[in-house]
Amino acid sequence: MFTLPLGDHAQLRPLEPWRAEEFFAHIERARPHVDPWIPWATLSPDLASATAVLKRYAANQAEDAGRIYGIWLDGKLVGGVMFTKFDAASGVCEIGCWLEADGAGRGLVTRACRALIDWAFEERGMARVEWWVASGNVRSIEAARRLGMTRDGVLRQRYPYRGVRQDSEVWSVLAEEWNVPAGGDKAELDELMRTFLGAFTNTDGSRPDVDAVREVFIPQGTIISNVGGEPVIYDLDGFIEPRQKMLTDGTLTEFSEWEVAERTEIFGSIAHRFSEYRKSGYRDGEWFEGTGHKTTQFLRTPAGWRMSSMAWDDE
């Protein structure tokens, strides 16, 4: 058996059948955090079924068709990662993850998945690693993005879950894309957009950093909402102040917004980005989800790339 340190007193280890009691106790804790999106915990309603899950993965590993690993934090099992599918002949595998609340917000899943992807590409010569996720599962989509994956597409109403047909998003990373050194103009523009969208996140009790908008824009920046019949044009102060209030006074909670596709063009010292995005959260206690498009202009300044204007339209 191996133990791989993940930092912050966390370890990655094989999750073997003899750990079934520990696994089942963890699944009981993880159920509220996991079951809204995937039936992973539902597969283990009792110790016998939890044992069967681990035995099935042990058999898959023996056939080189799948593997499962646990994440321990301070000696407590808090989540895990797995190859849900592993096809060495085609060079394609799929990874998945789950986590209970006590393990969230520490980057453990990202680090554990990196270890699996490193092994798949570097040791096994795989060509493609996939990540399948329900379209509303914001945390899982954010994890795919942090891993540098690309959204390949959406399979609409692919499967029923809890009485509703769910869309599946397919994300992937290719061997030639993995561990490519970061840098260059495109990487800088990507980071500006991540910072802008992340400024409004207040999930899991985190505090939004709306003032970060000033860091990514030039002082004269313009932001335009073209959602209704008349465009609404903001300067930075006019845009930031009402959103800071909504995100901190309880009006808008568990909110996040993220890119799902983008096209960026760079011409010397100017650039343009066309983005498709999704967002979700609670507004006045009511859950909502939305999609839309943004167009963003950038200028290269002595301090680096900055946004100069942005306009958006919600669907």
Compute the distance between CA of residue 47 and CA of residue 51 in angstroms, rounded to an integer. Answer: 6
Residue 304: predicted pLDDT: 86
| pTM given for the model | 0.66
Lateral strand order in the sheet of 304-314: 232-234, 217-225, 304-314, 286-301, 270-283, 252-267
- Long-range CB pairs of 132-135 (<8 Å, 24+ gap) are 132/94, 132/96, 132/168, 132/169, 132/170, 132/171, 133/168, 133/169, 133/171, 134/37, 134/38, 134/161, 134/166, 134/167, 134/168, 134/169, 135/166, 135/167, 135/168, 135/169, 135/278
Question: Given a cut of 60, is residue 214 above it in pLDDT?
Answer: yes
pLDDT tens by residue, 89-103: 999 999 999 998 888
Q: Which helix (H) or strand (E) holds 80?
A: strand 76-87
CATH 3.40.630.30 fits 4-177, yes or no: yes
Mean per-residue pLDDT of the chain: 90
- Average confidence (pLDDT) over 196-224: 90
- Identify the residue with better confidence: 15 or 41: 15
Residue 205: predicted pLDDT: 76
Question: Given a cut of 90, is residue 270 above it in pLDDT?
Answer: yes
- Identify the residue with better confidence: 41 or 154: 154
Q: What is the dotted CATH code of the domain comprising 184-314?
A: 3.10.450.50
Question: Given a cut of 60, is residue 67 above it in pLDDT?
Answer: yes
Residue 297: predicted pLDDT: 98
Q: Using 50, 70 and 90 to split pLDDT, how confident is the model at 1?
A: low
Question: What does each C-alpha distance from 241 to 104, 198, 214, 284 come to in angstroms?
Answer: 30, 16, 12, 18
Residue 180: predicted pLDDT: 64
Question: Given a cut of 90, is residue 57 above it in pLDDT?
Answer: yes
Q: Which two tokens stand for residue 113?
A: 């998945």
Is 103 strand, coil or helix? helix
240-266 CB burial, b ≥16 within 10 A, e <16: beebbebbeeeebbebbbbbbebebeb
Taking every pair of C-alpha atoms in the chain, what is the biggest distance, in angstroms? 64
Locate tokens 């990202």: which residue? 110
Question: Given a cut of 80, is residue 80 above it in pLDDT?
Answer: yes
pLDDT tens by residue, 180-207: 665 688 888 999 999 999 999 998 777 8
Residue 181: predicted pLDDT: 60
Question: What does each C-alpha distance from 150 to 137, 251, 298 come to in angstroms?
Answer: 16, 32, 23
Compute the distance between CA of residue 220 and CA of residue 195 in angstroms, rounded to an integer. Answer: 18
Q: Where are the domains of the chain?
A: 4-177, 184-314
Compute the distance between CA of residue 233 and CA of residue 115 in angstroms, rounded to an integer. Answer: 46
pLDDT tens by residue, 236-255: 999 999 999 999 999 999 99
Q: Which two tokens stand for residue 174?
A: 């290719």
Question: Given a cut of 90, is residue 220 above it in pLDDT?
Answer: yes
Question: Given a cut of 90, is residue 55 above it in pLDDT?
Answer: yes
Question: What does each C-alpha distance from 65 to 84, 91, 116 come to in angstroms?
Answer: 8, 12, 14
Highest mean pLDDT among 11-15, 202-206, 228-232: 11-15
Residue 135: predicted pLDDT: 86
Is 53 strand, coil or helix? helix
Q: Using 50, 70 and 90 to split pLDDT, how confident is the model at 128?
A: very high
- Check if 4-177 and 184-314 are the same fold: no
Question: Given a cut of 70, is residue 291 above it in pLDDT?
Answer: yes
- Identify the residue with better confidence: 308 or 143: 308
